[in-house]
Chains A and B, each alone.
Chain A
């Protein structure tokens, strides 16, 4: 019989060749070479500080990747970054933010703060209206604040409003929403009473849970009030179209009080979840703004997209936590300190995370006003010194090469967490001989195990500040706090935090918080690794935005420049 089949080698060779050619050609020059990419004209500004119309692109349509589908566009139910981005464009709270992140007047033109820092009086803009033309009144805010904390709304970000008087009692159903400390003094004057002085309160008012909703349309449409066609908003943009998991289109709100300065005609938000996919869409000109960029590709991006790659500090700390309620970490801070010291943070930020994250030895990230982040003494040592001290402490705790510490490191499924956990495990092994097992858990399982404090030993943690105040970070470690997955409990720390809450003099409050952080770090409940950065690609034609630690970028500030060679817009809808 004759052979009936080809030798597999032929097909194989073809397959391999195909693969290699597909991957090999990419390093060389391609049509996306930098020189071939359109460059924007140099912007020229008018006396009012606005870009001169002659430098603007004809089509002012922004294509913006938003990472994932927002869970909802009801501002009071919303949580998470994607929803927040869209809602800040659609709605406007009492305050807003400038491109660089300062709190500026929003729907309120100005405000007074009482001497005891517990009563805020807001004076609304008389020219502000809803997108359907209805005037925006103080009553609208009263209705909205009440709705936000009403237990029937079942908002999961209502705890943002807890500083307001009676908010907690309303939230748990002990009081009716009418008793919430928000009151309309007249049509355009709103008073909010707080239970404690809350210096970051004005910043809280940029959060979507404080945004006004249009009462008539909420009552008319119920759960469907956030649909296109139904949604009445008061921000610089209105909702024009919403294709689930495909796109959300906003158009300019001509009735916005500052509509004259809104330059973009349309903003299209895309929920692209896959970072490489998003990168490719950007490269083929379908996006002006990516949500993030793939982790491993810093050097490649820096080489190919230096003008587009934007990396800036973010108000977040990346750390690992110890479960202090479980051996071997119950008693011995020395062992924990050994593990903290043995990690070469610079190695991790340079070789693993790569995007310019700052090595960190503390909890609170730098960049919050005048707050001085507490830095332990060993932060100033060389890594060799730290390693030596780590070995000494490790041995003193009774471990060694013959009797290594065996622990588990838990993290949730993510490329970045995986790499950092790998690096930590590897460094511990190389410096101390610790035998660390990695356990990758799916998100919900991870959350449950972490807060359960039964299975965990060392676990991935981290925190992005809800508002630019150290308190957002420090409160995580209060005894029995819902977020206290570490089992940390220290009465001195708790009492310091209590004093912080009721302290209204900024300097004293700051010192109390610094003291609290120092107390915390001395007991080593966490392994600080680095402070976060945001990393994304932004079309150089897109201007008007600025870096800010909250990573809040309002579309109303942005505009598109004309290209040097072509007056035509660069992007088409994908």
Chain B
């Protein structure tokens, strides 16, 4: 591999994360555990990541099932108990907001939206980023240079401003939030994937495929992209929390999802306004939000460690 083909970031990425697959692929690794199995076992031994994953699983379960179980509707306004602190007596365990809506059910419904935004926007950025990066890296040369120059230009666009304009131009709907955040977030992914692809395409199995006359498109799809999986997974788990934070920032600016829908970000930013007069409107959604971001970060770190050969010392 010609090192001059890579920038520092990519070099580091290449050095850091591709080796296990490379090694495995080279050796064929018939008898021993596959590198995936290896990684899986390492992951399972990482108690932090496992705990985080379990909490996350429970969280997702609660958020998905909870709103069906709870007797309050998320848009029901209980006029007898507006701004009520948490209370077992009136059935609002987490209290109510200024118009008497149950914070518990809104926190759970908000969680659905936040997680949905997190996942979908990340998938959007993933789709764009992986295909873009893989194509740029695989074809190289002028294609690569033009494509990467474009990424540089978009980098120079202030991200927040861009998202705000999109929201303003196209109105406020949740699909747009996915697309807007995803469409801006793919840049990093594209860079990482391009770096990986640059190294992958010089591997023997790719050379072999090419020698056999397999079309470029199929090589990218069958050989390059699957081998990017490790990097991509790490990236995904670390991007989801970022996206959730971005959504909360949009909500702070009043550009989040439409009422009566909500998100953790919207609830937390509303609650932060009244943190003294009605702390319960802040604390509950904030804890859910923080725990979730925490878990994703730990899972992401765990995955990275598990997929990192340097740890097998």
Q: Which residues of A contact B (CB under 8 A)?
A: 1, 3-9, 11-12, 15-16, 19-20, 22-24, 26-27, 275-276, 294-297, 299-301, 347, 351-352, 413-415, 418-419, 421-423, 425-426, 438-442, 444-445
Nearest first, the 4 closest Cβ-Cβ pairs linking A and B are A5-B48, A300-B277, A23-B279, A413-B254
Q: How far is the CA of A59 from the CA of B42 in the complex (A)?
A: 69
Q: B241-287: which residues lie under 8 A (CB-CB) from chain A?
A: 254-255, 258-260, 270, 272-279, 282-283, 286-287
Given A5-B47, A5-B48, A16-B287, A27:B276 Cβ within 8 A: yes
* Nearest-neighbor residue (CB-CB) of B254 within chain A: A413
CB distance B99 to A419 under 8 Å? yes
Q: Which residues of B contact A (CB under 8 A)?
A: 42, 45-49, 51-52, 55, 75-77, 79, 82-83, 98-100, 167-168, 171-172, 254-255, 258-260, 270, 272-279, 282-283, 286-287, 290-291, 294-295, 298, 301-302, 305
Which chain A residues lie closer than 8 Å to B301 at the CB level?
5
Q: How far is the CA of A441 from the CA of B167 in the complex (A)?
A: 10
CB distance A442 to B167 under 8 Å? yes
Which chain A residues lie closer than 8 Å to B295 at the CB level?
8
CB distance B42 to A296 under 8 Å? no
CB distance A423 to B276 under 8 Å? no
* Nearest-neighbor residue (CB-CB) of A9 within chain B: B51
* Nearest-neighbor residue (CB-CB) of B45 within chain A: A1
Q: In angstroms, how far is the closest chain A Cβ from the Cβ of B103?
A: 13
A8-B51, A351-B100, A422-B99 are known; give 9 further A-B pairs, CB within 8 A.
A1-B45, A5-B302, A8-B55, A15-B294, A22-B275, A23-B279, A296-B273, A299-B83, A419-B98
Q: How far is the CA of A17 from the CA of B96 in the complex (A)?
A: 22
Cβ-neighbour of A3 out of B46, B99, B290, B294 (below 8 A): B46
CB distance A24 to B279 under 8 Å? yes
Q: In angstroms, how far is the closest chain B Cβ from the Cβ of A414?
A: 8
Q: In angstroms, how far is the closest chain A Cβ from the Cβ of B238?
A: 15
Cβ-neighbour of A7 out of B47, B82, B258, B278 (below 8 A): B47
Which applies to chain B's interface (DSSP): helix, strand, loop or mixed? Answer: helix
Given A294-B274, A422-B260, A6:B171 Cβ within 8 A: no
Q: How far is the CA of A109 from the CA of B294 in the complex (A)?
A: 70
* Nearest-neighbor residue (CB-CB) of A344 within chain B: B79
CB distance A347 to B167 under 8 Å? no
CB distance B277 to A20 under 8 Å? no
Q: In angstroms, how far is the closest chain B Cβ from the Cβ of A435?
A: 11
Given A23-B279, A294-B274, A8:B258 Cβ within 8 A: no
Interface centre among A11, A12, A15, A413 (most CB of B within 10 A): A12
Q: How far is the CA of A16 from the CA of B279 in the complex (A)?
A: 13
CB distance B47 to A296 under 8 Å? no
Cβ-neighbour of A351 out of B82, B272, B291 (below 8 A): B82
Given A8-B294, A299-B277, A19:B168 Cβ within 8 A: no
Interface centre among B48, B49, B290, B302 (most CB of A within 10 A): B48
Which chain B residues lie closer than 8 Å to A296 at the CB level?
83, 98, 273-274, 277-278
* Nearest-neighbor residue (CB-CB) of B295 within chain A: A8
Q: How far is the CA of A23 from the CA of B286 in the complex (A)?
A: 11
Which chain B residues lie closer than 8 Å to A441 at the CB level?
171-172
Q: How far is the CA of A12 from the CA of B100 in the complex (A)?
A: 29
CB distance A15 to B290 under 8 Å? yes
Given A8-B48, A19-B287, A445:B171 Cβ within 8 A: yes
Q: In angstroms, how far is the closest chain B Cβ from the Cβ of A277?
A: 10
Q: In angstroms, how far is the closest chain A Cβ from the Cβ of B286?
A: 6
Given A26-B275, A438-B260, A19:B48 Cβ within 8 A: no
CB distance A438 to B259 under 8 Å? yes
Which chain A residues lie closer than 8 Å to B275 at the CB level?
22-23, 26
Cβ-neighbour of A19 out of B46, B100, B283 (below 8 A): B283
* Nearest-neighbor residue (CB-CB) of B287 within chain A: A16
Given A8-B294, A438-B258, A441-B171, A352:B98 Cβ within 8 A: yes
Cβ-neighbour of B46 out of A5, A11, A27, A423 (below 8 A): A5
Q: In angstroms, how far is the closest chain A Cβ from the Cβ of B128?
A: 26
Given A7-B47, A422-B77, A19:B172 Cβ within 8 A: no
CB distance B259 to A422 under 8 Å? yes
CB distance A5 to B49 under 8 Å? yes
Which chain B residues lie closer than 8 Å to A413 at the CB level?
254-255
Q: How far is the CA of A24 from the CA of B99 in the complex (A)?
A: 22
* Nearest-neighbor residue (CB-CB) of A5 within chain B: B48
Q: In angstroms, how far is the closest chain A Cβ from the Cβ of B31?
A: 22
Q: How far is the CA of A61 from the CA of B99 in the complex (A)?
A: 40
Q: How far is the CA of A300 from the CA of B305 in the complex (A)?
A: 49
Which chain B residues lie closer than 8 Å to A295 at the CB level?
98
Which chain B residues lie closer than 8 Å to A294 at the CB level?
273-274
Which chain B residues lie closer than 8 Å to A6 at the CB level?
48
Given A5-B301, A296-B83, A300-B277, A23:B75 Cβ within 8 A: no
Given A296-B83, A296-B98, A352-B98, A440:B276 Cβ within 8 A: no
CB distance A8 to B273 under 8 Å? no
Q: How far is the CA of A423 from the CA of B282 in the complex (A)?
A: 21
* Nearest-neighbor residue (CB-CB) of B281 within chain A: A296
Q: How far is the CA of A415 from the CA of B273 in the complex (A)?
A: 10
- What are 5 A-B interface contacts by the 8 Å CB criterion? A1-B42, A294-B274, A296-B83, A413-B255, A418-B259
Interface centre among A418, A419, A421, A422 (most CB of B within 10 A): A422
Which chain A residues lie closer than 8 Å to B302 at the CB level?
5
Q: In angstroms, how far is the closest chain A Cβ from the Cβ of B45?
A: 5
Q: In angstroms, how far is the closest chain A Cβ from the Cβ of B89?
A: 19
Q: In angstroms, how far is the closest chain B Cβ from the Cβ of A259?
A: 42
Q: How far is the CA of A439 from the CA of B282 in the complex (A)?
A: 24
Q: How far is the CA of A275 from the CA of B172 in the complex (A)?
A: 24
Q: How far is the CA of A495 from the CA of B298 in the complex (A)?
A: 72
Q: How far is the CA of A294 from the CA of B274 in the complex (A)?
A: 8
Given A23-B283, A413-B254, A440:B274 Cβ within 8 A: no
Q: How far is the CA of A442 from the CA of B291 in the complex (A)?
A: 32
Cβ-neighbour of A440 out of B51, B259, B290, B298 (below 8 A): B259
CB distance A351 to B79 under 8 Å? yes
Q: In angstroms, how far is the closest chain A Cβ from the Cβ of B211?
A: 40
* Nearest-neighbor residue (CB-CB) of B75 within chain A: A426
Which chain A residues lie closer than 8 Å to B290 at the CB level?
12, 15-16, 19
Q: How far is the CA of A100 from the CA of B277 in the complex (A)?
A: 33
